[in-house]
Amino acid sequence: MTDSAAQKAAPGLNVVLAYTDKAGGYAGVRTWSHFPSKDELEKFLEEQQGKQSVVKEGVTQDEAVRLTRQTPMLSYVGAALEEAVDGEGFFHAELFQMKMQTAGIPMSGLWGFRGEVRA
């Protein structure tokens, strides 16, 4: 099934979201999700209490992935730092390194839009 056929088959809308400054170290990190309705999207955003904002809504899956891949590297660094500091303020260098390696996968360009490895 093509991306456009899949989108027509699934009611609702795909939405690209970005974490805001209220989300701490995750600010700028983009994600995407499918919502069954505009009302469900609005409910989700209300629950997030300003920690996420809409980048673009009503996009195809391919466009959602493309926009998500445009997350700035500094946002991935901020998220990795956020996760590498424990509740007592101790920085775990090994955890930071692991998180940065994980963040490097989407930034490397080795992965296609649907997870296939590019030759």
pTM attached to this predicted model: 0.74
> 88 lies in a domain?
yes
> 115 lies in a domain?
no
Range of the domain at 82: 3-108
Per-residue pLDDT of the chain (119 residues; tens, 9 = 90+): 455 555 455 689 999 999 999 999 999 999 999 999 999 999 999 999 999 999 999 999 999 999 999 998 889 889 999 999 999 999 999 998 888 887 765 555 544 444 443 33
How many domains is the chain partitioned into structurally? 1
> 118 lies in a domain?
no
Burial 32-42 (b: 16+ CB within 10 A, else e): beebeeeeebe
